[in-house]
Structure 1
Amino acid sequence: MKIKDVMHKGVTCVEPRTPVTEIAKRMRDDDIGAIPVRADGQLVGMITDRDITCRAVADGGNLGKLTASDVMTKDIASCSPDDDIVVAIKAMEGKKIRRLPVTDGHKELVGMLSLGDISHKVPKELSGEVLRAVSGHHR
């Protein structure tokens, strides 16, 4: 099964200069836990609700001044729409991540793959294994 058959399209994105408070509101309003960060059409990072909690709130940052570039994860893993779903699953397990951006050959975002997407499309045994592997404690 190819990633393009499982991923969802129409992903909400922000730019590196987007205020963290605006990102948190988008996450709340759209009921999502991660937003890709794009600059000049290319994926440059990812910001999750955990990034906001750990890198902004817990560190005592000035939420009114922090932007996506201050708290985002850089050098993120991604996959191609034509990759086999197993490639994405291994990347998610290895990095203990729940969401994986899908990019074309030019690092342009074309979709997002989440654990939820996988759980609806792959056999239950495999999705359960992925969930267990990804849900381990971060180091």
Structure 2
Amino acid sequence: AQWSKCFQEISTSIKLPSSSTNNNETMKKEVVGFAPDLLGFGHSEKPPLSYTQYLWQSFVLSFAKEIVIKRYQIPAFTVGGNSIGGYTSISTAADDTVPVGKSFWTGSGAPGSGGCTGVVLMNSAGQIQSK
């Protein structure tokens, strides 16, 4: 319910070199992509709060844990983003994979998933500087 307005499942079409055409059909069947609208963007809710990279990082990690891992039972994921989404992606990946003993924890102390196995950066921007 929390994700209903911002969740959009997309069908992923992978473009591979022509020598890999046999893999292309397999990848189309096995690769699932998710494209949530970050809070404050697109069709997402726009609650009256301060939108920061930390909020978006928390949102993406919660989305990965609750939707990708829990609902779809996909244990490992790659996160990617464009512009500020690139920073959000890399900080999400870094925060999700902090090992503490046999568990994973986030920088906030919340349980992490340890499921982020990769990052894709497209025209990445850095952290938002606040004065």
Higher strand share: 2
Higher helix share: 1
**Structure number with bigger Rg:** 2
For the superposition of Structure 1 and Structure 2, which TM-score range results when normalised by the shorter chain? 0.3 to 0.5
TM-score between both structures, scaled by the size of structure 2: 0.32
TM-score between both structures, scaled by the size of structure 1: 0.31
